[in-house]
Amino acid sequence: MRPLALFFFLTAPAGALAADPEVAPEPEAPTAAAASQQPLGMSAEQLALLLRERGAGQGPDLEAIVVPVTLFGSVVVLVGLLLLLRLRQHESRQVTLRLMVEKGASIPPELLSPPQKPRSDLRRGVLLLSAGIGLGLFLALVNTEQPVWSLGLVPALVGAGHLLVWKIEPRPASGA
């Protein structure tokens, strides 16, 4: 019973414990500047007011924590899955090679070296150029006060460079 009475005593409003509320006047609510001048001699009401004005009584915004963790977590998971798929391909190639060696079959050279993807500067150039133009237009429409649209120039110019390399680089002659 005593802890419960102590709890009510500590949590009761300031005027509720006085015999006559009119006799015990409400303490004047200080401003944050007045409360910060005397930090050691602050009453509970002054401390609560100061914390409320500074926003320290509120917990961290859940959205400010969940969104970055989800974003970076999904990137880590995606990279991990890609690495896992590459590892499984490598393992299956090694198992195939081991079985061929055990059976005494000849190993084709294509199986020893991983297949090389043909470079496609045209494809990369078109994708980066269009992504840069799209990003620049999006940023120009969203933020009109500052010239952040220029961030779209980075992928656009890299894409233009890929297109230039595709145009300049000699292609192997396709003989029929």
Give residue 32's domain range. Answer: 2-54
Model confidence pLDDT, tens digit, residues 148-172: 888 999 999 999 999 999 889 887 7
Q: Is the pTM of this model over 0.85?
A: no
Q: Report the chain's C-alpha Rg in angstroms.
A: 35
Model confidence pLDDT, tens digit, residues 132-153: 999 999 988 988 788 888 899 9
- Yes or no: say if 33 and 16 are a contact pair by the CB < 8 Å rule: no
- Yes or no: say if 126 and 157 are a contact pair by the CB < 8 Å rule: no
Residues 148 and 171 in one domain: yes
Residues 82 and 98 in one domain: yes
Residues 74 and 42 in one domain: no
Residues 111 and 126 in one domain: no
Q: How many domains does the chain contain in total?
A: 3
- The backbone region for 170, taken as left when phi is positive above 0, alpha when psi lies in -120 to 50, beta otherwise, is beta
Low-confidence ranges of the chain (pLDDT < 50): 1, 5-8, 15, 17-21, 35, 57, 175-176
